[in-house]
Chains A and B, each alone.
Chain A
């Protein structure tokens, strides 16, 4: 009797979720972007008032850490009904394709690896940078380059958190040379 009750509960919540998702428009996308912007501004403002040190790199570790927490949780829900991964490369491939497209609406454009635990994931039009790009003049896409690390830190944490919950401890860095292209460097830490 009891499992049945639990079952129906799951079903009802499942249908309610799917009924909401069927109506979710693309607008949801801008919700996340605006929220992300608010979080980013909050963390930066707080740290700016904390430290008087200028001209050094901004402290974005909190943003990264929040991303880590979100990534750690979301991968659990994403892979719940997934077949077990064969190996590390299989996991990274999953990150590049299904994971990335479900979070950022597109796949990673290019994956490179040295087969020794370093992976480079390149997104040619990263969602959070997309609106900074100036499409009219191709050579002018460096205008906001200095502010870019802020927009990337959360996602670096997201990647690191997801990998951590898959059993890969890593360091994730990002590199931007021309907006909106972004390269994420994943270095797997082996003990």
Chain B
């Protein structure tokens, strides 16, 4: 009995495990529902987009950050977003010469903590929800970006590398019927 009082549960850790396991349950369900792995990737991206659209508000409210000066600034803010929400700090590397593309490298990833991919899931992008989150969040601050996985630890790469590309600045929409 005495040891029980000593062994309090780590609330935050369990909480992140709840997230990890729930995400796993979602991916498993999607794999069951769709025959095609590509469709699962798409669905994950779409769900991520919906989450990103909402998460950006939380991010801005918590960090109080203003507009980005340039894409490098954006990269740092995305990095701090990962720290804020997932407690990880990916490194920013591999800038393209034009400065419109960079990579986020993850050494550990809470999303994949208990995951092993079976052979028939070779084309599954397990963490594809992240690409959706980034797209949704950036769209809300008037930036169109694209992102994709270049390396993936689940596919025996040393690190997980997420490539992010700036596409264009979104202008305020003009009401229909006006030029």
Contacts and interface: CB of A to CB of B under 8 A. Distances in A.
Interface of A: 16-18, 20-21, 23-25, 27-32, 34-36, 38-39, 41-43, 46, 62, 66-67, 69-70, 73-74, 77-78, 81-83, 98-99, 101-103, 105
Given A83-B7, A102-B15, 5 more contacts: A28-B15, A39-B47, A74-B14, A102-B11, A103-B15
Nearest to B89: A23
Interface in B1-29: 1, 3-4, 7-19, 21-26, 28-29
B15 A32 contact: yes
B104 interface: no
Contacts of B17: 74, 77
Specify the main secondary structure of chain B where it touches its partner.
helix
Contact of A17 (B1, B13, B24, B29): B13
Contacts of B76: none
Among B7, B8, B114, chain A packs the most CB atoms within 10 A around the CB of B7
B112 interface: no
A73 B47 contact: no
B62 A27 contact: yes
A178 to B, nearest CB: 26
A81 B15 contact: no
A118 to B, nearest CB: 26
B78 to A, nearest CB: 15
A18 B26 CA distance: 26
Contact of A105 (B11, B21, B55, B88): B11
Contact of A34 (B18, B24, B33, B54): B54
B14 A38 contact: no
A23 B13 CA distance: 10
Contacts of B43: 42
Given A31-B85, A66-B25, A103 B12 contact: no
Contacts of A46: 33
A83 B1 contact: yes
B83 interface: yes
Among A30, A38, A66, A73, chain B packs the most CB atoms within 10 A around the CB of A38
Given A21-B16, A34-B55, A42 B85 contact: no
B88 A20 contact: yes
A158 B54 CA distance: 25
Contacts of B11: 101-102, 105
Given A27-B84, A70-B18, A103-B18, A21 B13 contact: yes
A35 B110 CA distance: 15
A32 B87 contact: no
